[in-house]
Amino acid sequence: DQQVKQNSPSLSVQEGRISILNCDYTNSMFDYFLWYKKYPAEGPTFLISISSIKDKNEDGRFTVFLNKSAKHLSLHIVPSQPGDSAVYFCAASAKGTYKYIFGTGTRLKVLA
Amino acid sequence: DTAVSQTPKYLVTQMGNDKSIKCEQNLGHDTMYWYKQDSKKFLKIMFSYNNKELIINETVPNRFSPKSPDKAHLNLHINSLELGDSAVYFCASSTQAGGYNEQFFGPGTRLTVL
């Protein structure tokens, strides 16, 4: 039972264009969401987060949107750069728990 | 100046052996975690310790035993290794327990059981 799903295993985008990575969840108790970025042979690194009381959070080129009614979040990267090529994981947590549930990741390739 | 470090980075061993993976964090965090990333790329929590106390123990075979000698270290011992244990194991830490805290991950240990 995968509570956090990233249905696109891979995505290719031209440099300078927008990258949109999607994540869906099923547990309505989730109230905090994060995106992590992972390069090969390294551990995931934190990118950006959003609380369920917000519908948008922005940090530089990265913006996360949350649609609670649709149980959907997305990560927008504008403009995309070749260095953004990595695997992106979304993760969700519910209040009162001590853990994050991770999606299976989307591999982003930004083409120069 | 590594924040979360794991040793070894690669581990190749025979079925039935016992092995340990070590993790250390120098961030002063109270909480540490072990995750398993299997061949399907699922990143699943296995254990978590907060101030040396076990707070998360997912459905993991009891061949896996975590040990936290102090807040900065969380080791993972695996007995009687099986083929299905082959995976990448990630250690992580956060300032405190609770789902609102960013986790810092180590580089991973790739375990291959032959």
Q: Which tens digit of pLDDT belongs to each residue from A60-109?
A: 999 999 999 999 999 999 999 999 999 999 999 998 787 899 999 999 99
- A106, A10 contact by CB (below 8 A): yes
Determine the pLDDT at residue B85: 95
CB contact under 8 A, B100 and A102: no
Determine the pLDDT at residue B58: 87
Q: What gap in Å lies between CA B102 and CA A53, rounded to an integer?
A: 18
Q: What gap in Å lies between CA B10 and CA B106, rounded to an integer?
A: 13
Closest-CA residue of A relative to B92 is A43
Determine the pLDDT at residue A99: 86
A88 burial level (CB within 10 Å; 0-12, 13-18, 19+): buried
Q: Are strands A106-111 and A10-14 parallel, antiparallel or unpaired?
A: parallel
Determine the pLDDT at residue B1: 64
Q: pLDDT tens digit string along B6-31? A: 999 999 999 999 999 999 999 999 99
By C-alpha distance, which of B77, B81, B78, B103 is closest to B91?
B103
Determine the pLDDT at residue B99: 66
Structure tokens given for B62 = 């009891």
Of residues B97 and B112, the one with the higher pLDDT is B112
Residue B86 has pLDDT above 90, yes or no: yes
What is the pLDDT averaged over residues A43-69?
96
- Hey, is the C-beta of B92 within 8 angstroms of any chain A C-beta? yes
Determine the pLDDT at residue B97: 77
- B101, B2 contact by CB (below 8 A): no
Element (H, E) at A38: strand A30-38
Determine the pLDDT at residue B59: 76
- Hey, is the C-beta of B27 within 8 angstroms of any chain A C-beta? no
Determine the pLDDT at residue B75: 96
Of residues B93 and B52, the one with the higher pLDDT is B93
CB-based contacts of B69: which residues, under 8 Å, 6+ apart? B52, B75
Residue B110 has pLDDT above 70, yes or no: yes
Q: Is the preceding omega at residue B8 within 30 degrees of 0, hence cis?
A: yes
Q: pLDDT tens digit string along B29-75? A: 999 999 999 887 889 999 999 888 888 888 788 999 999 999 999 99
Residues of B in contact with A102 (CB under 8 A): 42-44
Determine the pLDDT at residue A85: 97
pLDDT exceeding 90 applies to what percent of chain A? 92
Closest-CA residue of A relative to B46 is A99
Structure tokens given for B53 = 């106390």
